[in-house]
Amino acid sequence: MDTFPQQFDVLHLWYLGNPSSPSCVGSLHLEDDGDGVSLHYSPAWLSSGFLLSEDLPLVNKRHHPPDILLSNSQRGAGAVDDARPDRWGEKVIRFVDKPERLSLMEYLYFAGDERFGALGVSTSATEYLPRHTSPLPVLADAQHLSEVAQRVEAAEPLGVLEAKMVAGGGSPMGGAKPKALISIAGEQWVIKFFNNEPIDAPLVEHAAMTLALKAGITVAQTQVIQLGGFHAVAIKRFDRHQGQRIHCLSAGTALRAATPMGQEPQMSYPALARLLRRAGVKHNNVNLQDARELFRRMVFNILMDNTDDHEKNHTLLVPQPFDNGHLKLAPAYDLLPTNSGQGFQEFGCGLHGKDSTLVNAMSEFEAFGLSLAEAEGEVLRVVKVVNTWQQHFAQVGVSEEDIESLALRIDGEGLLGQRRGWFVGVRPI
């Protein structure tokens, strides 16, 4: 393996919207207590750049991370936090790179050049010098990548070439499940591997994503990859387009940025809908269409028992950051029945908090810019599609055994009863 510096107190943030002409945004500083990373815009960026998120105005000062931390984790200031690797990426960094110190600064550096969005991290303020990584693996490497990912998961030693295959890995929005970046026909995809789940999770995710498309939900493109005895699912990156990189914000970052100082941010679908209506793309009423679609996503997640809909599983694109900074709802991803039956979502749904009910989903329909009749119509639209989930999953190739397992929750009385009531016109409000 190549050798790298093992710890950093100062790094430099770059904007890579056009990778051939990167621009230095400013300097990153490890906070004195080591629990976060601050940003200080460069003079050039102050004069000609854009604010990365609403809580990072273009002023000559150090922007510190928010005081309110989730799970006592380290956090970067504003949009800087979305440049960090996900939990799987952090695991790879700990296992492959083995930094002497594990502050957020090291995670930001070792994530490499293909992190999520359009931000990059460099050791230099005058030249974009990211952590060097090998070219992305290609589809033919998928089987080997799967085996390497399982070795990382099991903490088994890797060879030099194997370590290079997964080193860096960017920071695709996600969680702790084994995954890698891969090139398919010259475009970047995230490939997610089977991880000894009780069901064929990659195939089920593909089935759920394509079912959501039928419900009028814009989803990231997926394809199923057949590996030795298992499936993987590849998800096309939506933060890359024709060689350009798109600035992105997670829902959590955007909602924190929009919350007045001293107030607790509301992590919920209604709050995100209000943000989209206010700060979304106004052209052709895209912001209103996005808010309406977000309502459908909420209903779909409730009825499909996708309770892992946390703040990192919703993303906002910033298509024209220099012109207006307006937000666009990114395609949906990580739509996967959790089969938990826990009865609550990770993202708030309405006046009843995180309760996984249509009553809760309907309780703040005005936040989505909908009338009562429009909201009822959107619920009915999703219910009709979810009612076909078993046939759709079977057509995609999900096994009868896995469908029966998922049906215990999706077609259990809690969720099926809500669908039946709505379908026959018995509104639970």
> For the segment 368-407, what is each residue's pLDDT rounded down to a tens digit?
999 999 999 999 999 999 999 999 999 999 999 999 999 9
Residue 271 pLDDT more than 90? yes
Residue 267 pLDDT more than 50? yes
Amino acid at 125: A
pLDDT reported for residue 161: 73
pLDDT reported for residue 69: 46
Q: Mean of the pLDDT values across residues 105-124?
A: 94
pLDDT reported for residue 70: 46
Strands of 271-403, DSSP E = 315-318, 328-329
Higher per-residue pLDDT: 32 or 172: 32
Amino acid at 375: A
pLDDT band of 423, cuts 50, 70, 90: low
The token duo for 251 is: 């829902």
- Contact at 8 Å (CB) between 47 and 55? no
pLDDT band of 100, cuts 50, 70, 90: confident
Amino acid at 18: N
Q: Mean of the pLDDT values across residues 39-60?
A: 98
Query: Cα-flanking dihedrals φ and ψ of residue 347, to 5°?
Result: -105, 135
Residue 220 pLDDT more than 90? yes
pLDDT band of 97, cuts 50, 70, 90: confident
pLDDT band of 329, cuts 50, 70, 90: very high
pLDDT band of 427, cuts 50, 70, 90: low
What are the domain boundaries of the chain?
Answer: 10-122, 139-240, 245-423
The sign of the CA dihedral 130, 132, 134, 135 is positive
Beta-carbon contacts of residue 57 (< 8 Å; ≥ 6 apart)? 51
Query: Smallest Cα–Cα separation from 22: which of 125, 135, 108?
Result: 125
CATH number belonging to domain 139-240: 3.30.200.120
CATH number belonging to domain 245-423: 1.10.1070.20
pLDDT reported for residue 158: 86
Q: Please state, rounded to an integer, the average pLDDT across all residues of the chain.
A: 92
Least confident among 7-16, 28-37, 189-198: 28-37
pLDDT reported for residue 6: 65
User: Quick one: the chain helix, strand, coil %, rounded to 5?
Assistant: 40, 20, 45
Cα separation, 163 vs 133, whole angstroms:
10
Cα separation, 173 vs 190, whole angstroms:
10
